[in-house]
A and B are shown apart, each in its own frame.
Chain A
Amino acid sequence: MTASKIATRTTYRDALREAIREALHADERVFLMGEDVGRYGGCYAVSKGLLEEFGPERIRDTPLSESAFVGAGIGAALNGMRPIVEIMTVNFSLLALDQIVNNAATILHMSGGQYNVPIVIRMPTGAGRQVAAQHSHSLEGWYAHIPGIRVVAPATVPDVRGMLWTAIENPDPVLMFEHAALYNMEDDLAEDAAPVDLDRAAVRRVGSDISLITYGGTLGKTAEAAEQLARDGIEAEVIDLRSLRPLDTETIVASVAKTHRAVIVDEGWRSGSISAEISARIVERCFYELDAPVGRVCTVEVPIPYAKHLEERALPQVAGIVAAANRAVTGGG
């Protein structure tokens, strides 16, 4: 797949659109299906202009039938296609949970390896725009519980561009979670931006005093917290997980073994979240290196409220991350 020449400075959204365009050009098996991806241009404008370029067969608007069109995506994948199914948000994916968990994740196994499911299911996720409880879930951690699917959360422009390519090529179901706050994020993208891997974490900032572990929409706040901590003489290492299933345990362990302290930042609710899984793995592998309990900064366990001040209070914020890091440095959790 050759890289196209695109502007050096681009947004997360535009980079994603380019990746979809590239895939549609390069591989006739690829098509995009979902609610309002065609005429509307995509709920988050990701597919704007694609209908005009590729036509209604390949940029396929669906009725509001998440179960059927996700299942249809799976069926199409069983039958030789490489569909990209866009679910408008993770909140609506619950209607398709049966197809994802009972079909996409299981068919390879139940068929003893005869049928694989090369589907990419993309979903915006996350909170912070005052859209209240039913539109503000972060359920990528839930999905990461299921064997048989891959779960990725690109948090940077190069990653959203590069991960989509790799996801399409991958023979197994890939769920790609795009935090809605990232679509407008601007960054530089190399002219020859290449596909990137789907299962390694990335160390975004090297540090020696504490490991701050996060993914997706909270990477920005975590990086900002690291800058604040640096001003107080605490050098934080920031890890962008990139993949929630599989989790890159080795990168996490290497970091915590070096820094002896860890705080996980996760927009999911604490209980049973992916941060709990990461914390368990850190304790399993780095127990004798820990100078403080593994800290977690998660969303307060309340359905996300509408009022701005309440929503802000509920979600992980920079101040909370800094405070958790400071507690860890003094041995607390």
Chain B
Amino acid sequence: MPALGAEMDAGTLVRWLVKAGDRVATGDIVAEVETDKATVQVEVFEAGVIESLLVPEGERVPVGTPLARVKAATDISAVPVSPTARRLVTVGNDAAATTATREPAGPAATVHATPTARRLAQELRIDLGGVLGTGVGGVITRADVEGVARAPSQPVAAGRLLASPFARRIARDRGIDISAVQGTGPAGAVIAADIAREESRARPAPATTPLLAAATRTDARRRAIAAAMERSKREIPHYYLGATVDMTNALDWLARENAKRPVSGRILYAALLMKAVALAARELPELNGYWVDGSFRQSAAVHLGVAISLREGGLVAPAIHDADRMDPGQLMAALRDLAARARAGSLRSSEMSDPTITVTNLGEQGVETVFPIIFAPQVAIVGFGRIVERPWAVKGMLSVSPVITASLAADHRSSDGHRGGLFLRAIERFLMEPESLCRTT
């Protein structure tokens, strides 16, 4: 049972997505686990074959409890796909077939894919026949399916997402991941009623309905968040710094960038803010890491936590891994993806556990300055308010500029005001020279 957050002591294994004998690759989702905060997908970090499942579905176990035994694959390139292995995969296919509700049409029996890859392909309505497998013996892994899902120019085979234009529009407007919605229209197309149903499912139902369990879960989430915030405030000596940054250059740069991009690929200024924080975190590493057991553990990588508010109330702050190595376009895409999955409840465990520093952007809510609370065990959190037009002096001349207030709340045990100040100055520097945000090394 992985640790999926600082507060987590135990988790309930809700569902196994593999069984004994299944072949898995690194990164495959093998189970769903419920914590106080969310339902999270659990990845496996080695390649091999599931030997046995140790914890049954529905059981709540402490963090650290072994969940399954995996027999690691030996030399990958030398392992031929033996007839036995092929048969195993086929057995896996059949199992997948019996649990699947909508198997994509195609020669399923001859396609070698891991069960998790198969499940994901089914959810995303991707035809496995068109996916190149990079796993052991050419087996299609989850990562391969994800790669296909991400590539926009990939000719999509028979498994297109069917949805009415209206359903797509309202799903987009309401931040709902349409690919996760079960469609009841012809050929399984998603129609508006399905989006509405999805929304009311996510929203807590009135207490008198059988959805009491969901309501209880929501309450539990809120309690967990409350506990975390309380602990942060109690244990972490926060100090606060603020800086007002002239966003003229950044917005001009953004406008020019977006003019070159299709509508679907446009970058919001939030991505620039995030990149600036990630780069600043590299420069001031004492703000990027964890305070654990009385000392600071610096993180080599910058995994930027992004605070996302959930529809049913509450907050999550999952990580964008290696945010400092993404260009603004990639960061934008990652942010969109994360927000959609956060709201759909399909975040990965690594995303929950890995942030090394967090950003909270409350510009949409209309505030000018944020005084955030650090997500323990991190040591810093950066808040941004909305961009406002203010009188501004540039080289001694008075003009009007769009400015934003960046605020740093940091753990005084790992950094002080001087370092914090440098951190904010770095953010300012990056935002005023937006070309610098394109660095990916």
* Contact yes or no, B166 A330, CB < 8 A: no
Task: Give 1 or 0 for each of B153-185: 1 = CB within 8 Å of chain A CB.
Answer: 000000000001111110000000000000111
* Contact yes or no, A332 B186, CB < 8 A: yes
User: Beyond the given A290-B164, A292-B191, A331-B189, could you list 14 further A-B residue pairs with CB under 8 A, ordered by the A residue number?
Assistant: A260-B166, A260-B192, A288-B165, A288-B166, A288-B168, A289-B165, A291-B164, A291-B166, A292-B185, A330-B184, A330-B185, A331-B186, A331-B191, A332-B185
CA distance A288 to B185 in the complex (A): 17
B residues in contact (CB < 8 Å) with A: 164-169, 183-186, 189, 191-193
Provide a sorted-by-A list of 12 A–B residue pairs whose CB atoms are within 8 angstroms.
A260-B166, A287-B165, A289-B169, A291-B165, A291-B166, A291-B191, A330-B184, A330-B191, A330-B193, A331-B185, A331-B186, A332-B186
Which A residues are CB-close (under 8 A) to B192? 260, 291
CA distance A332 to B193 in the complex (A): 13
How distant is A328 from chain B, measured CB to nearest CB, in Å? 10
* Contact yes or no, B184 A288, CB < 8 A: no
Q: Give the secondary structure class of A's interface.
A: loop
Residue of A260, A289, A291, A330 contacting most chain B CB atoms (<10 Å)? A291
CB-based closest 9 A-B pairs: A331-B185, A331-B191, A291-B166, A291-B164, A291-B192, A332-B186, A288-B165, A260-B166, A291-B191
Which B residues are CB-close (under 8 A) to A332? 185-186
CA distance A260 to B168 in the complex (A): 13
* Contact yes or no, B191 A289, CB < 8 A: no
CA distance A291 to B166 in the complex (A): 5
Which B residues are CB-close (under 8 A) to A331? 164, 183-186, 189, 191, 193
- Which residue on chain B has the smallest CB distance to residue A329? B193
- Which residue on chain B has the smallest CB distance to residue A287? B165
CA distance A330 to B191 in the complex (A): 8
Number of A-B contacts (CB under 8 A): 37
* Contact yes or no, B166 A290, CB < 8 A: yes
How distant is A263 from chain B, measured CB to nearest CB, in Å? 15
Task: Give 1 or 0 for each of A185-197: 1 = CB within 8 Å of chain B CB.
Answer: 0000000000000
Which B residues are CB-close (under 8 A) to A292? 164, 185, 191
**Given A260-B192, A331-B191, A290 and B185 touching (CB < 8 A)?**
no
Task: Give 1 or 0 for each of A250-265: 1 = CB within 8 Å of chain B CB.
Answer: 0000000000100000
Which A residues are CB-close (under 8 A) to B183? 331
**Given A260-B192, A330-B191, A331-B191, A291 and B186 touching (CB < 8 A)?**
no
CA distance A43 to B186 in the complex (A): 49
**Given A260-B192, A331-B191, A291 and B184 touching (CB < 8 A)?**
no
Task: Give 1 or 0 for each of A277-317: 1 = CB within 8 Å of chain B CB.
Answer: 00000000001111110000000000000000000000000
Residue of B166, B189, B192 contacting most chain A CB atoms (<10 Å)? B166
- Which residue on chain B has the smallest CB distance to residue A331? B185
CA distance A330 to B193 in the complex (A): 8
Which B residues are CB-close (under 8 A) to A287? 165
Residue of A287, A289, A292 contacting most chain B CB atoms (<10 Å)? A292
Residue of A288, A292, A331 contacting most chain B CB atoms (<10 Å)? A331
- Which residue on chain A has the smallest CB distance to residue B191? A331
CA distance A290 to B163 in the complex (A): 10
Which B residues are CB-close (under 8 A) to A291? 164-167, 191-192
Which B residues are CB-close (under 8 A) to A290? 164-166
CA distance A289 to B173 in the complex (A): 13
CA distance A287 to B168 in the complex (A): 11
- Which residue on chain A has the smallest CB distance to residue B185? A331
How distant is B166 from chain A, measured CB to nearest CB, in Å? 4
Which B residues are CB-close (under 8 A) to A288? 165-166, 168-169
* Contact yes or no, B185 A289, CB < 8 A: no
How distant is B162 from chain A, measured CB to nearest CB, in Å? 9
CA distance A333 to B185 in the complex (A): 10
Task: Give 1 or 0 for each of A319-333: 1 = CB within 8 Å of chain B CB.
Answer: 000000000001111
Which A residues are CB-close (under 8 A) to B164? 290-292, 331
- Which residue on chain A has the smallest CB distance to residue B167? A291
Of the candidates B166, B186, B193, the one whose C-beta lies within 8 Å of that of A289 is: B166
CA distance A332 to B164 in the complex (A): 10
- Which residue on chain B has the smallest CB distance to residue A333? B186
Which A residues are CB-close (under 8 A) to B185? 292, 330-332
Which B residues are CB-close (under 8 A) to A330? 184-185, 191, 193
CA distance A51 to B395 in the complex (A): 94
Task: Give 1 or 0 for each of A218-249: 1 = CB within 8 Å of chain B CB.
Answer: 00000000000000000000000000000000
Which B residues are CB-close (under 8 A) to A289? 165-166, 169
Which B residues are CB-close (under 8 A) to A260? 166, 192
CA distance A290 to B167 in the complex (A): 8
Which A residues are CB-close (under 8 A) to B184? 330-331
CA distance A290 to B183 in the complex (A): 15
How distant is A49 from chain B, measured CB to nearest CB, in Å? 54
Which A residues are CB-close (under 8 A) to B167? 291
Residue of B164, B168, B183 contacting most chain A CB atoms (<10 Å)? B164
How distant is A286 from chain B, measured CB to nearest CB, in Å? 9
How distant is B165 from chain A, measured CB to nearest CB, in Å? 5
CA distance A298 to B165 in the complex (A): 25
CA distance A288 to B168 in the complex (A): 8
CA distance A93 to B54 in the complex (A): 84
CA distance A290 to B165 in the complex (A): 6
How distant is B126 from chain A, measured CB to nearest CB, in Å? 22
Task: Give 1 or 0 for each of A119-163: 1 = CB within 8 Å of chain B CB.
Answer: 000000000000000000000000000000000000000000000
- Which residue on chain B has the smallest CB distance to residue A260? B166
How distant is B360 from chain A, measured CB to nearest CB, in Å? 33
CA distance A269 to B184 in the complex (A): 31
How distant is A290 from chain B, measured CB to nearest CB, in Å? 5
How distant is B309 from chain A, measured CB to nearest CB, in Å? 27
- Which residue on chain B has the smallest CB distance to residue A332? B186
CA distance A115 to B183 in the complex (A): 59
CA distance A289 to B183 in the complex (A): 17
- Which residue on chain A has the smallest CB distance to residue B190? A331
Which A residues are CB-close (under 8 A) to B193? 330-331
- Which residue on chain B has the smallest CB distance to residue A288? B165
- Which residue on chain A has the smallest CB distance to residue B189? A331
How distant is A208 from chain B, measured CB to nearest CB, in Å? 12
CA distance A332 to B186 in the complex (A): 6
CA distance A333 to B169 in the complex (A): 20
CA distance A260 to B165 in the complex (A): 10
Which B residues are CB-close (under 8 A) to A333? 186
How distant is B410 from chain A, measured CB to nearest CB, in Å? 46
- Which residue on chain A has the smallest CB distance to residue B165? A288
How distant is A24 from chain B, measured CB to nearest CB, in Å? 52
- Which residue on chain A has the smallest CB distance to residue B164? A291
CA distance A283 to B441 in the complex (A): 47
How distant is B332 from chain A, measured CB to nearest CB, in Å? 23
Which A residues are CB-close (under 8 A) to B191? 291-292, 330-331
How distant is B42 from chain A, measured CB to nearest CB, in Å? 35
How distant is B50 from chain A, measured CB to nearest CB, in Å? 39
